[in-house]
Amino acid sequence: MTKQVQQLDRVIIRFAGDSGDGMQLTGDRFTAGTAEFGNDLSTLPNFPAEIRAPAGTLPGVSSFQLHFADHDILTPGDAPNVLVAMNPAALKANLGDLPRGADIIANTDEFTKRNLQKVGYAASPLDDDSLSEWRVHAVPLTSLTVKALEGFDLSKKDAERSKNMFALGLLSWLYHRPTEQTIKFLEQKFARKPELAKANIAAFQAGWNYGETTESFSVSYEVKPARLAPGVYRNISGNQALAYGLIAASVQSKLPLFLGSYPITPASDILHELSKHKRFGIRTFQAEDEIAGVGAALGAAFGGALGVTTTSGPGVALKAETVGLAVTTELPLIIVDVQRAGPSTGMPTKTEQTDLLMAMFGRNGESPVPIVAPMSPSDCFDAAVEAARIAVKYRTPVMLLSDGYLANGSEPWRLPEISDLPDISQEFTTEPNGEDGAFLPFKRDPETLARPWAIPGTAGLEHRIGGIEKADGTGNISYDPNNHDLMVRTRAAKIDGIDVPELAVDDPDGDARVLVLGWGSTYGPIAAAVRRIRKSGGKVAQAHLRHLNPLPANTGEVLKSYDRVLLPEINLGQLALLLRARYLVDVISYNRVRGLPFKAEELAGVIQDVIDSD
């Protein structure tokens, strides 16, 4: 039987199962195949903080959503076209997001009485008509896998464990994904256990063959490669891009990278990644706590390294005093905050934009810190280089505000030409700058207001710095009232004077009356929503802030040139507070703090409401 092939322009798949079912791996492999095939894509992993939550329960559900298309896309998608549900909990937890008519591939083997009871199903939804509005494909994934692996020297449990590869094979068939890379990947992953490698490959192929032969699937789908800008691409997550950006910053600043860090979700992968690249002269230091992580980074910066610390919100709270020390000693330092849902421990694996005001103000005294925020997973690379540029040029700590959505999400990344990366190097000071060979550690560059960076080992420039207020120029301890006022204002002026690019506005016809403004990871959903509005004939302008401190010089002018400014944030209006105070503009906030990114449809509705509110 030749099966029908249907062309689609885009598909959203969600793999969902127990946290032990290997859904993240399955999603990663499907993503790799999709990237290799040449679709544009965007991913959204969503998993519990617990390593193994109780099996079969709702809190234990782990999912991975992938959106891929034959054109450029901006988000992991609002609503899945296909849900792979490995157990009843996965079905129940995700059904609410599934539009009517979507496909559900359910692993019938797990729909046992006990598993159904665990999540409150009185009877199996596969057996009654409660799912009649969806297209349900009931597939005994586990038993098919076990059957396919009968010839292998494996326990039943080990054979069952390969069911995620069976599912991957089936989905790979359904969407015409290439298979070579996954086979190669499995061979490498289980290089030391060849029997497991063979079994997983066999399960993967059995899943593919099942799709081809079963009558449960009469149609397969093709999504043609996307016509993206020419170049070499790879798929990359935000944390990996950020780590690569820091390595690039080290190379481009000609400074050895020193990372002081303490493991914390969702930032730890940056530490893991950087620790693999010692060939670049990178020192990674897993400190005893968050405070020591930033302290060591600052100490290394005093010695002439590119000092970096990586953390998430609770860690930033602990590091605050040391960041203040970096502000007053005016040393370069990068603090990476991969924001997560708070307050306190909050929801460690869920995303939020709620650390903006902490980054701005979360220190004692007047202690301004520049803030840079990436807008997509791959943009974490450029944002890291930009943060380093500011830190080194202006001798200041810089906050780099990523978040959980960027950190774990991934997308194709067009690799930059190395020759196009900016040279962000600065010379260390090696000569005295005062009269009679004196060295004045706080005599500033008149243009940038940066102080000299003279590192230990430089003869004749021996000097002392510290947390106590310093006399202008000499840096000696000073309690002089006017000197303190001068130093406070000068440190502020230095940060205010940082050269940041103007805020660009996307307003194709130039006649929109509503501006949607965003910062950080909301770029994708906002841009996708703006597209929808424009597609239906609506007029809306879009601008996105990468620099939160200082704000681009034209920010006020841009805000005031529109009748209304809408600002969606995954917080309760933190940037809105700053903009209202600074520019006296009546910014309209739209806020949700659900631990999840915005959906494009949701934002399109909000934008339309603002447009219509004339």
Binding residue (CB under 8 A) for another protein from 458, 490, 554, 591: 458
Residue 468 CB, nearest approach to another protein (Å): 7
Q: How many residues bind another protein (CB under 8 A)?
A: 71
Instruction: Pick out residues in 169-188 that bind another protein (CB under 8 A).
Output: 181
Burial code of 154-174, b = ≥16 C-beta within 10 A, e = fewer? beeebbbbbbbbbbbbbbbbb
Instruction: Let me know if 457 is exposed, middle or buried by CB neighbors in 10 A (0-12, 13-18, 19+).
Output: exposed
Q: Segment contacting another protein (CB under 8 A): 214-222, 240-248, 350-358, 390-398?
A: 240-248
Rounded distance, CA 220 to CA 9, Å? 14
SS3 581: helix
The answer to whether the beta carbons of residues 17 and 52 sit under 8 Å apart is no
Residue 379 CB, nearest approach to another protein (Å): 15
Instruction: Pick out residues in 396-425 that bind another protein (CB under 8 A).
Output: 415-416, 418, 421
Question: Which tokens is 416 given?
Answer: 């930059």
Query: Would you count residue 476 as binding another protein (CB under 8 A)?
Result: yes
Residue 203 CB, nearest approach to another protein (Å): 22
Instruction: Pick out residues in 317-356 that bind another protein (CB under 8 A).
Output: 321-322, 325, 329
The answer to whether the beta carbons of residues 30 and 171 sit under 8 Å apart is yes
Query: Would you count residue 247 as binding another protein (CB under 8 A)?
Result: yes
Question: Which tokens is 347 given?
Answer: 């929801």
Residue 84 sits at φ, ψ, to 5 deg, of -95, 115
Rounded distance, CA 38 to CA 41, Å? 9
Task: Residue 438: count other Cβ atoms within 10 Å of its Cβ.
Answer: 14
Max distance between CA atoms of the chain, in angstroms, equals: 93
Residue among 178 and 538 whose Cβ is closer to another protein: 178
Instruction: Pick out residues in 95-134 that bind another protein (CB under 8 A).
Output: none
Residue among 178 and 552 whose Cβ is closer to another protein: 178
Binding residue (CB under 8 A) for another protein from 260, 266, 362, 595: 260
Residue 360 CB, nearest approach to another protein (Å): 21
Binding mask 486-525 for another protein (x = CB under 8 A): ----------------------------------------
Instruction: Pick out residues in 6-65 that bind another protein (CB under 8 A).
Output: 32, 35-36, 38
Query: Would you count residue 551 as binding another protein (CB under 8 A)?
Result: no
Residue 444 CB, nearest approach to another protein (Å): 20
Residue among 80 and 377 whose Cβ is closer to another protein: 377
Instruction: Pick out residues in 191-230 that bind another protein (CB under 8 A).
Output: 225, 227-230
Binding residue (CB under 8 A) for another protein from 119, 465, 577, 596: 465
Q: Where are the beta strands (DSSP E) in 287-396?
A: 306-311, 333-339, 371-372
Q: At which residue do the structure tokens 């990372």 appear? A: 259
Query: Would you count residue 369 as binding another protein (CB under 8 A)?
Result: no
Residue among 287 and 541 whose Cβ is closer to another protein: 287
Residue 187 sits at φ, ψ, to 5 deg, of -60, -40
The answer to whether the beta carbons of residues 163 and 203 sit under 8 Å apart is yes
Instruction: Let me know if 123 is exposed, middle or buried by CB neighbors in 10 A (0-12, 13-18, 19+).
Output: exposed
Instruction: Pick out residues in 262-321 that bind another protein (CB under 8 A).
Output: 277-283, 285, 287-289, 291-292, 295-305, 307, 321
Residue among 378 and 521 whose Cβ is closer to another protein: 378
Q: Where are the beta strands (DSSP E) in 498-611?
A: 505-506, 514-519, 541-545, 547-549, 564-569, 588-591
Residue among 260 and 342 whose Cβ is closer to another protein: 260
SS3 311: strand
Residue 306 CB, nearest approach to another protein (Å): 10
Q: Are strands 564-569 and 588-591 parallel, antiparallel or unpaired?
A: parallel
Residue among 134 and 244 whose Cβ is closer to another protein: 244
